Copies of this chain bind each other. A is one copy, B any other.
Amino acid sequence: MEPVDSRRAPDRLRTQASWLINQVALPANRLVGEGLAAAGLRRHHYALLATLDEVGPASQADLSRRTSIDRSDMVATVNELVELGYVERAPDPTDRRRNVVSLTAAGRRRLRQLDDLLAEVQSQLLEPLSPSERTQLTGLLTRLADHHAPAQANPPPRP
């Protein structure tokens, strides 16, 4: 006699990709959130720091597009990171509509720590998968993410 797990979700849900993804996204976000909370930060903060480190100083709108954080939410995120001294905001002299946001030394230091922290989280998240399975998974997810990415309008490369 099979023990019926009274917590088991019905197959109707268990086999639906959208449901599965959600069920995995939940612990993923929780783990990341808890990890960052230990550092007093949230996901947006890390996304912003990481992006700045990789693309260099940029305008808020640019950062919004890259992180897919809404422009309006970006304002608060930058505010908070400025407050913490991890980031600087200065008016762009070449285009007075823009702010240029850049990493401070403290921000860069902080980021290194967060990277380690998040690497740890990833391995918790993917624990049951073998290395090659992890690669498979991220490969598939990347293709899906790209496919559903916001309409890519490519503006002329900055001179």
List chain A positions with a Cβ less than 8 A from chain B.
1, 3-29, 31-32, 47, 50-51, 53-55, 62, 65-68, 115, 118, 121-122, 125-129, 133-134, 136-138, 140-145, 147-150, 152-155, 157
On whether the beta carbons of B68 and A9 are closer than 8 Å, the reply is yes
On whether the beta carbons of A29 and B22 are closer than 8 Å, the reply is yes
On whether the beta carbons of B16 and A118 are closer than 8 Å, the reply is yes
On whether the beta carbons of B144 and A10 are closer than 8 Å, the reply is no
Closest to A24 in B: B144
- Nearest 6 interchain pairs by C-beta: A10-B54, A25-B25, A27-B148, A20-B141, A12-B50, A23-B145
On whether the beta carbons of A4 and B157 are closer than 8 Å, the reply is yes
On whether the beta carbons of B51 and A10 are closer than 8 Å, the reply is yes
Given the complex, which residues of B lie within 8 Å of A50, measured CB to CB?
A: 10, 12-13
Determine how close the nearest CB of chain B comes to the CB of A147; give it in whole angstroms. 4
On whether the beta carbons of A12 and B54 are closer than 8 Å, the reply is yes
